[in-house]
């Protein structure tokens, strides 16, 4: 599994590279603004990552040269990023079918519709309906949620968590509905949690519109399925060694100073299993629930070999 943070970072790097290559010496402030970098250090981190990439051989002459100097940015030795890649027929067909699937779901923006039309013409010329992609009819609750979004009406849902089986009533202000990995989801503001949450539509037992209206955020986050922190989550403070730094990119954590991360989960068991897997590469600094779970996990593991 690739974390949403990693995917978002990769997309930004792949978008930023051609721009900087085409505009050598571009001001840092322009790059930060155009590609939505929160701070200069984030851009520097991406450039340092790029600096370690290149073509096979991976000698000094094969690696990308990225440089920041006097408030400007240069990227050399990366001409293969300067222009869009040429798709193979198979890659183009996969891209076309994916775009048509999104169009069939009713979630496609106008730009995608135009892109699909151009790609289809490039692949098939004047052929009529060479490829048809149609998704199953969307669930009734999806249309109700779309209606609520259209009228900016909050909804009350009876929702059962996948992780715990707990059922609760919540009032949410839906922002968007989307389909991914074979399931439908709604993302919005949960008044009980006082924050953004993603709910799987097939876990909603009942739905009813509430009185009043709400306002959509100025910028609706990209719809992704990821873990949302809850107030009843357990937390653990973990020190990561050099060989365990990947954990901070793969799992829902918050980075702290001195190589520490705050790992949160709805159960101590996943954290304990992770620590067993990491061995000497990670050290648990705080987390009483995880300490007890880790002790039990070690006992069970030793019992298998005794």
In a domain, 240, yes or no: yes
Q: Are residues 203 and 270 in the same domain?
A: no
SS (H, E, C) the chain: CCCHHHHHHHHHHHHHHHHHHHCCCEEHHHHHHHCCCCCHHHHHHHHHHHHCCECCCCCCCCECEEEEECCEEEEECCHHHCCCCCCCHHHHHHHHHHHHHHHHCCCCCHHHHHHHHHHHHHHHCCCCCCCCCCCCCCCHHHHHHHHHHHHCCCEEEEEECCCCCCEEEEEEEEEEEEEECCEEEEEEEECCCCEEEEEEHHHEEEEEECCCCCCCCCCCCCCCCCCCCCCCCEEEEEEECHHHCCHHHHCCEEECCCCEEEEEECCHHHHHHHHHHHHHHEEEEECHHHHHHHHHHHHHHHHHCC
In a domain, 220, yes or no: no
Q: Are residues 8 and 72 in the same domain?
A: yes
CATH code at 162? 2.30.30.100
When comparing pLDDT for 5 and 184, which is higher? 184
Lowest mean pLDDT segment, chosen from 20-24, 124-128, 274-278 = 124-128
Q: Are residues 242 and 282 in the same domain?
A: yes
Does residue 90 carry a pLDDT above 70?
yes
Does residue 86 carry a pLDDT above 80?
no
Q: Are residues 147 and 186 in the same domain?
A: yes
Q: Are residues 103 and 51 in the same domain?
A: no
Q: Are residues 117 and 144 in the same domain?
A: no
In a domain, 247, yes or no: yes
Highest mean pLDDT out of 13-17, 60-64, 172-176:
172-176
Domain end marker among 209, 226, 260: 209
Does residue 207 carry a pLDDT above 90?
yes
Q: Are residues 242 and 279 in the same domain?
A: yes
Domain end marker among 81, 115, 150: 81
Task: Confirm whether pTM is higher than 0.85.
Answer: no
- pLDDT of amino acid 228: 59
CATH code at 43? 1.10.10
- pLDDT of amino acid 275: 87
Q: Are residues 67 and 15 in the same domain?
A: yes
Q: Are residues 69 and 9 in the same domain?
A: yes
In a domain, 183, yes or no: yes
Q: Are residues 74 and 103 in the same domain?
A: no
- pLDDT of amino acid 60: 45
- pLDDT of amino acid 182: 64
- pLDDT of amino acid 121: 78
In a domain, 131, yes or no: no
- pLDDT of amino acid 151: 92
Label residue 206 by pLDDT band (50, 70, 90): very high
In a domain, 276, yes or no: yes
When comparing pLDDT for 218 and 80, which is higher? 218
Highest mean pLDDT out of 66-75, 130-139, 276-285:
276-285
Q: Across residues 110-116, what is the average pLDDT? A: 79
Q: What percent of the chain has pLDDT over 70?
A: 77
Label residue 58 by pLDDT band (50, 70, 90): very low
Does residue 50 carry a pLDDT above 80?
no
Q: Are residues 11 and 65 in the same domain?
A: yes
Lowest mean pLDDT segment, chosen from 105-119, 127-141, 273-287 = 127-141
- pLDDT of amino acid 61: 47
Q: Across residues 171-195, what is the average pLDDT? A: 85
In a domain, 228, yes or no: no
Task: Please tell me the total count of domains within the chain.
Answer: 4
Q: Are residues 50 and 100 in the same domain?
A: no
Label residue 19 by pLDDT band (50, 70, 90): confident
* Structural domain range at position 204: 140-209
For 290-302, write each residue's pLDDT tens digit.
Answer: 888 888 888 877 7
In a domain, 129, yes or no: no
Averaged pLDDT score across all residues of the chain: 78
């Amino acid at each position: 599994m690739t974390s949403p943070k990693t995917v978002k970072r990769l997309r930004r790097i792949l978008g930023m590279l051609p721009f900087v290559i085409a505009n050598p010496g571009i001001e840092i402030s322009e790059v930060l603004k155009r590609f939505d970098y929160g701070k200069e250090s984030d851009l520097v981190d991406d450039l340092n990552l790029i600096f370690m990439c290149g073509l096979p051989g991976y000698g000094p002459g094969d690696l990308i040269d990225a440089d920041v100097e006097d408030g400007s940015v240069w990227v050399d030795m990366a001409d293969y990023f300067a222009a869009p890649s040429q798709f193979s027929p198979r890659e183009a067909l996969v891209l076309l079918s994916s775009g048509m699937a999104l169009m069939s779901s009713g979630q496609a923006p106008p730009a995608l519709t135009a892109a699909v039309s151009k790609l289809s013409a490039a692949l098939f010329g004047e052929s009529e309906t060479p490829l048809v992609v149609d998704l199953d009819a969307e669930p009734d609750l999806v249309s109700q949620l779309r209606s609520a979004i259209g009228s900016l009406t909050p909804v009350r849902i009876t929702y059962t968590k996948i992780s715990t089986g707990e059922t609760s009533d919540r009032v949410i202000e839906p922002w968007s509905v989307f389909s991914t990995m074979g399931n439908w989801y709604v993302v919005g503001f949960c008044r009980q949690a006082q924050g953004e949450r993603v709910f799987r539509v097939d876990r909603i037992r009942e739905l009813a519109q509430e009185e009043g209206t709400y306002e959509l955020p100025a910028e609706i986050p990209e719809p992704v399925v990821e873990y949302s922190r809850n107030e009843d989550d357990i937390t653990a403070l973990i020190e990561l060694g050099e060989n365990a730094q990947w954990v901070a990119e793969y799992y829902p954590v918050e980075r702290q100073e001195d190589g520490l991360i705050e790992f949160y989960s709805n159960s101590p068991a996943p954290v304990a299993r992770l620590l067993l897997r990491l061995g000497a590469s990670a050290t648990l600094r705080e987390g009483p629930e995880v300490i007890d779970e880790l002790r039990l996990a070690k006992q069970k593991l030793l019992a298998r070999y005794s």
